[in-house]
Amino acid sequence: MSPTDPDLAPVVHVLEAVRRRQPLVHCLTATVSMGIVADGLLAAGARPMMTETLQEAPTLTTLADALVINLGTLSTDAMDGIPATVVAAAVHDARPWVLDPTAIGIAPVRTPLARTLLDSRPDVVRGNASEVLALAGEGHGDAARTPGRSPSTPSARRSGSRPAPAAPSQCPAPPIWCCRARAVPRWSGARRCCPA
């Protein structure tokens, strides 16, 4: 594979590996983006699987190579199914997983759920700057919407002296903090895949 887009050059080897391996990825994702997520995984060469119910998700995750949790449109089924699925996949089977704590901060159900899921040590946390700050207990997830304040203003940005969220002692490394915004909290010790 030779990319025509120079931005793809650094990840060509990853795309080739995905196409060779064709991993099964269990996605508990927002209903509004489910089709897009499935199409994106298929285009990359992966095989998507999607269910969020407590009765199925933990069992089906045992077949998956990876797990993606997105809290975008949190249903009653997902509130019950997600924690059990994460425990089955991440804790019990040491399966890689991604946490996307969409719209957390002020939301009374998804915010504590996201913080509880963080205790299970996701391999990647994907969020915008305000979501990452809310997850760390530093904000309300509303920095991008508050007039006169944005994730790039000093009140929402943190310097390199900010410690990473506490990690359980059995975890050798912090998660990768992958943000959808350019203003990224730079916690020392946290690996990140975000632009500086």
Helices (H), 45-190: 57-61, 76-86, 110-118, 129-135
DSSP class per residue in 6-73: GGGGGGHHHHHHHHHH--EEEEE--TTTHHHHHHHHHHHT-EEE----TTTHHHHHTT-SEEEEE-TT
Segment 19-44, tens digit of pLDDT: 999 999 999 998 889 999 999 999 99
pLDDT of residue 22: 97
Quick one: tokens of 71?
Answer: 């809290």
pLDDT of residue 9: 85
Segment 138-162, tens digit of pLDDT: 876 654 444 443 343 333 333 333 3
pLDDT of residue 2: 57
Per-residue pLDDT of the chain (196 residues; tens, 9 = 90+): 555 788 888 888 988 999 999 999 999 998 889 999 999 999 999 999 998 889 999 999 999 999 999 998 888 888 899 999 998 877 788 889 999 999 898 889 999 999 999 988 899 999 998 998 998 888 766 544 444 433 433 333 333 333 344 333 333 345 555 554 433 344 333 444 443 3
Put simply, whether the predicted model's pTM sits higher than 0.85 gets the answer: no
6-179: CATH topology is: UDP-N-acetylmuramoyl-L-alanine:D-glutamate ligase (3.40.1190)
Residue-range domain boundaries for the chain: 6-179
